[in-house]
Structure 1
Amino acid sequence: MRPRTPAVFDRLDLLEWQLCQRFANLSLYRPWLATLRMASKLGDWPAWVALIAIQPLLQPGSGTRHMLQYGITALIAIAVYRLIKTRLCRERPFITFHKCILCVEPARDRYSFPSGHTMHAVMFCVLTAAHAPWLLPLLVPLSLLIALSRVGLGLHYISDVLAGAAIGWAFALASLYLVG
């Protein structure tokens, strides 16, 4: 038996489905779909693992410390994210509105809230802003594309993406506060 979705999410689903459907319909344009798929794949882990790994090269004096900070922050964020996701059990838009929203990318699970891709994108942007702000012209557009890809591919609601962004922001700020 599937857990019951909280009423607040039922209302959000009804408010968001039409906007999500319109946005997901943009994925019918092949160049845009290819862009969203690429952003989604990069945001899954490759971009962030690369960013963590190159910290010693980017900042010879403090890069190893930043590498550890980014890695530990990401691991803690993943643990909290999974706890939230498995407790709230909000189904993905393409599952809830299967006749209206097509999913053009495979999902690992049924649940959408919050967006882990967006959480990491925002978290790493905030950490990078504090340590290597010159990388932001590359990371900010990538992060925006990653967030858009989650809705455009039919995997998340807009509120999932906003919640993921807020969680990522909070983890980055906490990490910067605790570690510096």
Structure 2
Amino acid sequence: MQAWLHHLTELETTVCRLWSRSGQQRRWIRYPFAFVSRLGDGVFWYSLMVTLPLVYGLTGLQASLHMLATGGLALLLYKSLKGLTRRPRPCHAHDITALVPPLDQYSFPSGHTLHAVVFSSVAITYFPLLAWILVPLTILIALSRVILGLHYPSDVLMATVIGLGLSYGSVALVG
């Protein structure tokens, strides 16, 4: 498994350098993406989980508990995958500057993206009108991870696929 990751890393490094340099040279890119990334640390999602029951009552509580359970499963899976793959972050392996400090040393998969996809997908299942804010936010969080020099595009892409699988699998179980 390490050989294919090494090859993929070489292919993606050019993209990471280009995006990271854009963020370094343009504050109007760096600061908004740093802010969006910070929201993806959990602040926004935990606030949403607290707010949903207050606004939507029992259905909001059910959605929040569903988000919490699926997010917990996502956390276990992403930590396991990071430990198995041990893929260095672009900012640790290349001449790419991290525009915000990384939360840990490994890159694959993007935990921010994985959780954004899981939380958004579950919330939208219960409250489709939230899609107008959650889908753009999730996309911006995913983009921020590459632009800030913290992840390769494949980290974000695979986190999206895993997140969709977890969220839709959990929705099918709850049914």
Give the TM bin, normalised by the shorter chain. over 0.9
1:15 to 11, 14, 25: 11
Residues 66 and 122 in structure 2, CA contact (< 8 A), matched pair in contact too: no
TM-score, scaled relative to structure 2: 0.95
2:82 to 82, 85, 94: 85
* Pair 1:148–1:133, CA change in 2 (3 A): same
1:56 to 53, 56, 61: 53
Q: Report the equivalent of 1:66.
A: 63
Question: Equivalents in 2 of 1:11, 1:24: separation in Å?
Answer: 20
Question: Equivalents in 2 of 1:73, 1:144: separation in Å?
Answer: 19
Structure 1 position 59, deviation (Å): 2.1
Structure 1 position 105, deviation (Å): 1.0
Question: Equivalents in 2 of 1:26, 1:148: separation in Å?
Answer: 13
User: Runs of at least 4 residues of structure 1 off by over 3 A?
Assistant: none
Q: Can you list the C-alpha shifts for 1:5-50, whole angstroms capped at 9, x where unaligned?
A: 7000110011000011111111020011001100110001011111
Q: Report the equivalent of 1:125.
A: 120
Question: Equivalents in 2 of 1:35, 1:44: separation in Å?
Answer: 15
Question: Equivalents in 2 of 1:85, 1:55: separation in Å?
Answer: 31
Structure 1 position 94, deviation (Å): 1.0
Q: Report the equivalent of 1:150.
A: 145
Residues 91 and 97 in structure 2, CA contact (< 8 A), matched pair in contact too: yes
Residues 67 and 123 in structure 2, CA contact (< 8 A), matched pair in contact too: no
Residue 112 of structure 1 aligns to a residue whose secondary structure is: coil
TM-score, scaled relative to structure 1: 0.92
- Unpaired runs of 5+ in structure 2? none
Structure 1 position 78, deviation (Å): 0.3
Q: Report the equivalent of 2:31.
A: 34
Which amino acid in 2 is paired with 1:92? R
More helix by share: 2
1:25 aligns with 2:21: yes
Q: Can you list the C-alpha shifts for 1:104-154, whole angstroms capped at 9, x where unaligned?
A: 111122100000100111112211221111111111111111001100010
Moved more, 152-161 or 121-130: 121-130
Residue 72 of structure 2 aligns to a residue whose secondary structure is: helix
Q: Over aligned residue pairs, what C-alpha RMSD do you find? A: 1.2
| Number of positions where the alignment pairs a residue of Structure 1 with one of Structure 2 | 174
Question: Equivalents in 2 of 1:124, 1:174: separation in Å?
Answer: 13
Question: Equivalents in 1 of 2:27, 2:64: separation in Å?
Answer: 37
Residue 13 of structure 1 aligns to a residue whose secondary structure is: helix
1:179 aligns with 2:174: yes
